[in-house]
Amino acid sequence: MSTLQEAVSRRRTFAIISHPDAGKTTLTEKLLLFGGAIQMAGAVKARGEQRRAHSDWMKVERERGISVASSVMTFDYAGCTFNLLDTPGHEDFSEDTYRVLTAVDSAVMVIDAAKGIEEQTRKLFEVCRLRDVPIMTFVNKLDREGSEPFDLLDEIEQTLALDVTPASWPIGMGKGFLGCYDLWKDQLILMERSKGGMPGLGEPCSGLDDPMLDSQLPSMAVEKLREDVEMARALCKPFDPQSYLEGHLTPVFFGSAVNNFGVRELLQGLAEQAPRPRPQPAQERAIEPTEEKVTGVIFKIQANMDPKHRDRIAFMRLASGHFKRGMKLKHVRSGKLVNMHNPVMFLAQDRELAEEAFPGDIIGVPNHGNLAIGDALTEGEDLHFTGIPRFAPELLQKVRPKDPLKAKHLGRALVQLAEEGAARVFKPRMGADWIVGVVGALQFEVMADRIRTEYDVPVIFENTTLLTARWVESDDAAALKKFLDANQASLADDHEEQPVFLARNAWHLDRAQEDYPGIRFLKTRG
């Protein structure tokens, strides 16, 4: 096998989806701990707090206790290299989250045993389903009283219309939680009740009838375990790797992240079963990861990650080839060559220069705004990757600087934030104020905070009476011109100077569509 093939077969690029508070941060930290990427529990939180303490622009995050910025964490385990892409948890940031989910090959769904499937989990699951992303489920907080395992399995199956199969089975719950029986490896793993302690490696059994179980567990617990597993095996489908890979079946692990419990089995499951990098769809063809030539797609932009450096990082997922630092890649949209002399990898604690990377890996490309979401970088081929979702803004507000002399600065800030994908911005053809369009209301606050701290322009957002924004286009240039000339008062231009129709209400939009049948009113723009 070539180096490239070997590296591809070892890559696992995934994200964790969950509802806030289910335990995503805790599980992330424990995965890094098992992967040897951090030395002690608490490091992820501590890092978060340190960052929060030092950087002003994350004020909103601090105030709301939510994670605005996403990042990438890379670690090794069981011979595999894992890339864990963090997804911001709050529903208002779903746009960014959705884009992150286009860059992973599989997902882990974390569920709080006491709460079951919650709203945000369901929404994120639907995004995964759209792309047939395979999902492993981790039922967390077994050390607390929660729903019965059968009820949880049933809820997942019913709510998500997804086949379920237990990969482990919990023994007891809450104060009486003793551990799990690993159904894949036939072993007993007992829970140790100390927060920092790692659970043992598990006692191999010959099966559920092994008398070893009787010697290790109270008799009532063994009896219940045997009954439960027998019933689970009768009720649930057996694990079928193909069905999992196609996104029809989810294996379910039970555990307690804060107690490190169940984490190793989940990681092992990912190493053994989760998909290696998948072919990436492009308009021209599907790009196989093992193709020799390097190609990649930008799925996320983050500006000013380090306020001291005012940098902007484009996150590129490598689709194919063996990337080496110093390569020159073609930026397909502009036709220009980009010198990749300082790409960064996101290791658990620090950013480091990426000397090399393989398909499935994420590298950060520092740039000054020339790279945009959806852009392709290649060794020359003109490729256009597909599948990065774009969203029509559902909420529109006017924005103006508190100091009218700063209008120009505000304009520049808005264009940059729009390029980053943080929001849509529109400059009305009549009137002085910009219009900002977002998917979730909290994005206005984040924008205001960032414009103030990163660009030094305090701003005021105000409600508008606008309902929606539609990009307008037509195959008939004369018809388009006629429409644009007649509707100046309802037109704006986006940050790339594309015309947009701002509708006051549903009637206004319907009317325009009826009056100008040759014009397409698009919710999104490619």
Measure the CA–CA gap between 350 and 344, rounded to whole angstroms.
Answer: 10
Rg (CA), the chain: 25
- Tokens 């322009």 correspond to 457
In which element (H, E) is residue 13 found?
A: strand 11-18
Q: For ligand G4P, which is the closer residue by CB, 100 or 208?
A: 100
Q: Is residue 517 part of an annotated ligand binding site? A: no
Please name the helix (run of DSSP H) or strand (run of DSSP E) that holds residue 106, with its range, or none: strand 106-112
Residue 53's SS3 state is: helix
Q: How far is CA 425 from the centre of its chain?
A: 23
Give the torsion sign (CA, 462, 467, 469, 475).
negative
18 is in an annotated binding site: yes
Any binding-site annotation on 510? Answer: no
Shortest approach of ligand G4P to residue 47 CB, angstroms?
Answer: 14
Q: How far is the CB of 182 from ligand G4P (least distance, A)?
A: 18
* Residue 141 labelled as part of a binding site: yes
- CB nearer to ligand G4P: pick between 253 and 483: 253
Tell me: is residue 427 an annotated ligand-binding position.
no
Q: Which is nearer to ligand G4P, 257 or 313 (CB)?
A: 257
Whichever of 69 and 258 has its CB closer to ligand G4P, that residue is 258
Return residues touching ligand G4P (CB under 6 A). 18, 20-26, 89, 140-141, 143-144, 256-259
Smallest distance, ligand G4P to C-beta of residue 459, A: 30
**Min separation Cβ 85 and ligand G4P, Å:** 14
Least separation in angstroms between residue 65's CB and ligand G4P is: 9
Nearer to ligand G4P, 25 or 273 (CB): 25
How far apart are CB 93 and ligand G4P at their closest, in Å?
Answer: 13
**CB of 47 or CB of 429, closer to ligand G4P:** 47
In whole angstroms, the minimum distance from the beta carbon of 474 to ligand G4P comes to 46
Q: How far is the CB of 112 from ligand G4P (least distance, A)?
A: 8
Helix axis angle, 43-54 relative to 24-34, nearest 10°?
A: 120
Least spacing, CB of residue 44 vs ligand G4P, in Å: 9
- How far is it, in rounded angstroms, from Cα 147 to Cα 254? 12
> What per-residue string of b and e applies to 140-173 under the rule 16 or more CB within 10 Å gives b?
bbbbeebbebeebbbebbeebebbbbbbbbbbbb
**DSSP β-bridge partners for residue 243:** none
Q: How far apart are CA 342 and CA 315, in angstroms?
A: 13
Q: Please tell me whether 87 is known to bind a ligand.
A: yes
In whole angstroms, give the CA distance from residue 179 to residue 262: 9
Q: Pick from 279, 230, 273: which is nearest to 249 by CA?
A: 273
Q: Provide the β-strand partners of residue 499.
A: 493
Determine if residue 22 is labeled as part of a ligand binding site.
yes
Between CA 453 and CA 243 the distance in angstroms is: 48
Compute CA distances 465 → 86, 378, 401, whole Å: 36, 44, 20
CA 141, 145, 149 angle in degrees (round to 5)? Answer: 75
* Identity of the residue, 142 or 236, whose beta carbon is nearer to ligand G4P in the bound complex: 142
Strand pairing report for 344-346 and 295-303: unpaired
Q: Which is nearer to ligand G4P, 156 or 301 (CB)?
A: 156
Q: Is 142 annotated as a binding residue?
A: yes
User: How near is the Cβ of 258 to ligand G4P at its closest, in Å?
Assistant: 4
Residue 90 marked as a ligand binder: yes
Nearer to ligand G4P, 110 or 413 (CB): 110
Task: Please identify, using beta-carbon distances, which residue of 143 and 228 lies nearer to ligand G4P.
Answer: 143
State yes or no: 526 annotated in a binding site.
no
CA distance 51 to 145: 34
Question: Closest by alpha carbon to 107, among 260, 238, 250, 318?
Answer: 250
54 is in an annotated binding site: no
Q: Which helix (H) or strand (E) holds 462?
A: strand 459-463
Binding-site members for GTP are: 18-25, 86-90, 140-143
Binding-site members are: 18-25, 86-90, 140-143
